């Protein structure tokens, strides 16, 4: 592993007295209840049968303060739901449709999109590789879609 030759103290550490908890407990409880309610509804109609859970983080857009971190882990074998708020930062997720809102917002902010402009949802093709499809384009092919529909 190697041997340490020397240690140089550049600056002494200080206590973390400046850390401020920004999570709003009442809001946190509301988000927890919303996740549980909607996820149970989706489980009931078969829409989340294969989902490993549901997670949400709410931030103050002006300050970046964390207002809530909520999560429910769904055991695919037993169907049991368990609270998993820390999963918002410790689990690894494949990004899905949640990326659409950020992409559209970036497009509006940078003047690439305007209003409810219609674009074509189509596979992405790089030379020498297989097309990259969304679930919809894989099933139905290319089609027009607005920001609201996305």
- Please report, for the chain, the start and end positions of each structural domain, with discontinuous segments joined by +: 25-90, 98-146
Reported as a single tens digit per residue, the pLDDT across 51-107 is 999 999 999 989 999 999 999 999 999 999 999 999 999 998 777 777 888 888 899
Mean pLDDT of all residues in the chain?
89
User: For the whole model, what pTM was predicted?
Assistant: 0.61
Of 76-80, 124-128, 141-145, where does mean pLDDT reach its minimum? 141-145
Secondary structure class of 122 (helix, strand, coil): coil
pLDDT for residue 55? 94
Residues tagged active-site: 97
* pLDDT band (50, 70, 90) for residue 1: low
Note whether 73 and 84 are within 8 A (CB). yes
Q: Is pLDDT at 122 greater than 70 in this prediction?
A: yes
DSSP 11-74: S-----TT------HHHHHHHHHHHHHHHHHHHHTTTTTT--EEEEEEE-TTT--EEEEEEEEE
Share of the chain above pLDDT 70, in %: 99
Antiparallel, parallel or unpaired: β 66-74 and 53-59 = antiparallel
């Amino acid at each position: 592993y190697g041997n340490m030759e020397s240690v140089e103290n550049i600056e002494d550490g200080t206590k973390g007295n400046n850390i401020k908890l920004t999570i709003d407990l009442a809001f946190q409880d509301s988000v927890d209840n919303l996740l549980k309610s909607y996820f149970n509804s989706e489980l009931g109609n078969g829409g989340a049968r294969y989902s490993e859970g549901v997670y949400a983080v709410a931030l103050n857009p002006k300050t970046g303060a964390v207002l809530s971190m909520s999560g429910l882990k769904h055991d695919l074998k037993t169907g049991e739901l368990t609270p998993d708020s820390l999963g918002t930062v410790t689990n690894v997720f494949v990004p899905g449709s949640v990326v659409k809102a950020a992409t559209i917002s970036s497009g509006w902010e940078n003047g690439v999109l305007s209003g409810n402009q219609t674009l074509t949802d189509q596979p992405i093709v790089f030379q020498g590789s297989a097309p990259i499809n969304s679930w919809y384009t894989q099933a139905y092919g290319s089609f027009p879609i607005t920001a609201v529909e996305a």
